[in-house]
Amino acid sequence: MCKGMGHAVDVASFHLCKKMDIDAHYAFRFPSQKITNRILRKAIRAWSLLLPFEPVSEFLNDRRWGFSNVLVRLQHNQYDAVIVHDAWLLPFVFKMKGQAKVIFDAREYYPGEMEGNLLWRILDRPEKVRVCRRYMPQCDQVMTVSPGIVTRYKEDIGVESLLVRSAPKFYDAEPQIVQNNIVRMVHHGGANRDRKLENMIDMFSMLDNRFTLDFYLTGSPSYKKELQKRAVGQDRIRFLDPVPFNQILPMLQNYDIGLYLLEPTGFNTEYSLPNKFFEFIQARLMLAIGPSPDMASLLREYDCGIVSDDFKPETMARALNALTADFIMQKKRASDRAARDLCFEEEGKKIVSILNSVGIH
């Protein structure tokens, strides 16, 4: 977007996954994943809890991510704005920004990032809270992805943030006809344990034979293997290779229902409003979700699917079994209408407004 507005763009990150239209890239050091290094990092983090002084915490963050090496390379650069995509980077940004305005794109509620992990809650959460409370109020603008997270940052950190949904670009498509004897369901995205994807597998013992489900999963290989093992004997469930990003919407168009039964295991899963929700809509699918507040509210607004009464597999199975082909087709047409609102072209207007507010035109 910034390049399209005629601005030069530099990126500081880990390695780039794909070629990007940028002017320069500055690479952070990715922490070693050797078990000895991981134990050492945890030990150092535990030690820092005994000495809760900001200089100690800042030093440890620098050692972990190699901030100082990048700071040296950036010391003579001058920027108009810096857009930050992770809370860990806020201390680095406020050291290098000079006169630049800072926009924090808070993709989740960072003090609850891995709250299901006891070790994380003990060793890492205090530092995430410190960083957010120390630096977020200094940001010129903060944006985030769901109404629930907007409210939580206001309550806990005292920061107003702007809602910018994670919607893809508008996809020009037509709803595909639903067959009477087969209903094709799909779920794609990260295989994260805190999402309890096994619930969608467990409901198949209670579903009519007309339903199928294809998974396209990235992420934890071990968790994917567990899910595949759990689905043994269910020949209506398939695990297919993930497709490239630009093929997600064409792939989804082959299905009837986008399925996401996301049992809340923490604040971020409870108030999730993920990319896949909007990708289902752009692919003109009916949605079938659990009662996740922010997803359910938007789904009901556009009437493009069903919300189960709770997160139990048997409850979702009952709701799905009651569907007819005509009903599914109605909801797919509702997604077609919603697609013109719930797209990047609309959400991008908010980003342009945010950039304009800090002097970027």
Give residue-wise pLDDT tens across range 335-358: 999 999 999 999 999 999 999 999
DSSP-assigned beta bridge partners for residue 306: 288
CA distance to 178, 211, 239, 315, 323, per residue, from 181 (Å): 9, 9, 22, 22, 12
- 106-127 mean pLDDT: 88
- Among 86-90, 119-123, 127-131, 234-238, the range scoring the smallest mean pLDDT is 119-123
Per-residue pLDDT at 150: 98
CA torsion sign, 254 to 258 to 259 to 264?
A: positive
pLDDT of residue 70 exceeding 90 = no
Residues 6+ away with beta carbon under 8 Å from 173: 249, 253, 282, 283, 284, 336, 339
Please state, for a pLDDT cut of 90, what percent of the chain lies above it: 71
Residue 52 confidence class, pLDDT cut points 50, 70, 90: low
Instruction: Write the class of the CATH domain 10-165+345-357.
Output: alpha beta
Tell me the average pLDDT across 223-251.
Answer: 97
CA distances from 334 to 260, 293, 330, 341 (A): 18, 20, 6, 12
| 82 DSSP 8-state letter | E
Six token digits for residue 62: 């620098």
C-alpha dihedral sign at 70, 73, 74, 75: positive
Q: Is the predicted pLDDT of residue 60 greater than 80, yes or no?
A: no
Per-residue confidence (pLDDT) for residue 12, from 0 to 100: 86
195 falls in which pLDDT band (50, 70, 90)?
A: very high
pLDDT > 70 in the chain, percent: 94
pLDDT at 317: 98
- pLDDT recorded at residue 18: 74
Region for residue 355 given its phi and psi (left: phi exceeds 0; alpha: psi -120 to 50; beta: otherwise):
alpha
Strand order in the sheet with 141-144: 81-84, 101-106, 141-144, 162-163
User: Average pLDDT of 174-198?
Assistant: 95
Spelled out in words, what is the top-level CATH class assigned to the domain 183-338? alpha beta
- The pTM assigned to this predicted structure is 0.92
Residue type, 342: L
| Fold match, 10-165+345-357 / 183-338 | yes
Say what the pLDDT of residue 39 is. 72
Residue 29 is classified by DSSP as P
For the chain, what are the domain ranges?
A: 10-165+345-357, 183-338
What is the token pair recorded at 121? 């809650």
Q: What is the pLDDT of residue 58?
A: 76
Q: CB 163: neighbour CB atoms within 10 A?
A: 15
Interval 247-288: pLDDT, tens: 999 999 999 999 999 999 999 999 999 999 999 999 999 999
Asked if residue 57 has pLDDT above 90, the reply is no
pLDDT of residue 7: 84
Looking at per-residue pLDDT, the higher value among 199 and 124 belongs to 199
- Which amino acid is residue 219, in one-letter code? G
Q: Which residues contact 277 (CB under 8 A, 6 or more apart)?
A: 258, 260, 287, 289, 295, 298
pLDDT of residue 357: 93
Give mean pLDDT, residues 120-138: 90
When pLDDT is averaged across residues 164-188 and rounded to a whole number, the result is 96
Residues comprising the chain, all counted: 361
Q: What is the mean pLDDT of residues 324-342?
A: 98
Top-confidence residue, 300 or 3: 300
DSSP 34-72: -HHHHHHHHHHHHHHHHS--HHHHHHHHHHHHTHHHHHH
- pLDDT recorded at residue 3: 72
pLDDT of residue 48: 66
Residue (of 193, 13, 189, 184) closest to 85 by Cα position: 13
Q: Measure the CA–CA gap between 202 and 226, rounded to whole angstroms.
A: 13
The residues, ordered by sequence, that sit 6+ positions from 30 with a Cβ below 8 Å of its Cβ are 14, 15
- Kindly state the tokens that stand for 25: 């890239």
Sorting pLDDT into bands at 50, 70 and 90, what band is 126?
A: confident
Secondary structure E strands in 192-322:
211-219, 237-240, 257-260, 286-289, 305-307
pLDDT at 45: 67
The contacts of residue 290 (CB under 8 Å, 6+ apart) are 260, 261, 262, 263, 296, 307, 308, 310, 311, 316
